[in-house]
Structure 1
Amino acid sequence: METIASPLMWTAFGGLVVLALLADLVLMRHGGAHRVTFKEALGWSVGWVAVALAFGGWLWWIAAQRYGDAEGQRIALEYLTGYLIEKSLAVDNIFVFLMLFTYFAVPEQQRQKVLVLGVLGAILLRGVMIFAGAVLLAKFHWILYVFGAFLLLTGVKMWAAAGKEPDLEANPVLRWMRGHLNLTEGYRGDAFVVRESGLRRYTPLFVVMVLIAVTDVIFAVDSIPAIFAITKDPFVVLTSNVFAVLGLRAMFFLLAGLADRFHLLPYGLAVVLVFIGAKMLAIDVIHLPVMVSLGAVVAIIGATVALSLLRPQRSTPAA
């Protein structure tokens, strides 16, 4: 696996992630379980974006010192493009989280705990999958075509499913848990597992946690091939992924009340995946500069967000 990162860069990145997670766990949860306000979520969201951009600037400086200005700019643009793609796909993931919390009526005070574990799981999962993907790409160039075809198919399926509410009752994981686990009727504070009448019982919070973990897996499978279309450097892939995921919890509380206003975003994300998949399939024939890829992603996401705001979703009249 070829990478621009030195052992010191890997160590610095790991230390920054640990510090960021500690800050998130300690400061955002200050005062215990509570309802996160819009102002609080906005402040944290802006902070996470600032940290991600600052890291991109540092990466640019390091690469420019080592390889020259042109190469430093290219690497920084790869990082920024990957970050934007992952951040955009994270928004769609947030809508799924919101649907799960609403369906299971998760108390607002308990949503933070589930999201914390979801973010930690997402980071660990991405680390494993990114290094596995980098090893495969280093040995088998044809894996790129598999990734490209998968992204094309995913984009088409996302377009077809846009605007439709997922049927949770038909979810195989949920059906399995209901058929094989002893579930409590209601919540037991912030507990995932309790012992009642001599039996171990699982609370709805545990069910939501499992479904979020499954969503994380699906999200990672969709998003990681997309970033490999931009760069094959595992350091750039991992850092752009992790910084996009770190702000997931704050972004959830920021967008929770605005989900309906971005109703066209899934269509834009579908187009982005199709574009990246086609780019990956044609990688040996057509080479698009990173700036073109970045511009296309910004234009597609920006257009769907603008159209969502200009053409609000019509509410369904009551029967």
Structure 2
Amino acid sequence: MSGPLYGAVEAGGTKFLCMVASGPQHIVAQERFDTATPSVVLPQVIEFFRQTIEQHGKLSGIGVGSFGPIDLNRNSPSYGYITATPKAHWSNIDLVGPLRKAFGVPVAFDTDVNAAAVGEHRWGAAQGLDTFIYLTIGTGIGGGGMVAGRVMHGLVHPEMGHMRVPRDAEVDPFTGACPFHGDCLEGLASGPAIEARWGKPATAFDANHPAWKLEADYLAQAIVNLVCTVSPQRVILGGGVMQQAFLLPMIRERVLSLLNNYVQSPAILSEIDSYVVAPGLGPQAGILGSLAMAME
């Protein structure tokens, strides 16, 4: 028996992924929509669930992992909203409300990276861990994860993509692409930042292009900051920019160099290849994490 069905939405800056499943091994429907304007995308998402319910039966809940910033305060009038985002047309948009209204089921809501972290904890590279980081490097840069077995929340939610990392203006004169902070991590190392700096998308460059040494350095700086503050048992790197197979080893090497033997743990000193890793769920981490949130 496959069990009850749940809906999942991964709301990304480039695409919305939707799924109905009872688990990773029993997926009954999936769909992808380009992230156009809310008035276009949200009706598409609702119609996908309506049609799937007609064919396969009711949902027991829906999980939504969204790009941010988002409002996770359940006592706030804007709970379930995307708030002041760099993504054009998406500021102050309610994601949770329309789904609750349309289907009358519980809706779990969190950042896309926290959702991916939940998925990796349940089925992927973070199984058996209680403190880990998930970073996604793509249209934007986001970070989340768990500390002591609890998903990271606090005043709002982690905004690791907007941490400040040192930039040597002689080596990298690019002043950054973030509309809020200029040369924060996202402003220097996201996919749009790479394209703005070099005039071509990351996919246009081979492994020897200087873009990658710079990218590895910025991402390694961020990881070292997180190692020294959160002390994660593992760091998982996902997102479109990380699809370059040669980038992960470059980042690991730079992490070791920057830490300079300061953190005396075999996990870093001799097992770095299993410490800084790709998602166990691959590109499905976000959508399966949203499914896991609905199930939990």
Q: Give the TM-score taking structure 2 as reference length.
A: 0.26
Q: Which has the higher strand share?
A: 2
Bigger Rg, which one: 1
* Bigger relative contact order (CA 8 A; separation at least 6): 1
Could you state the TM-score of these two structures normalised by the residue count of structure 1?
0.25
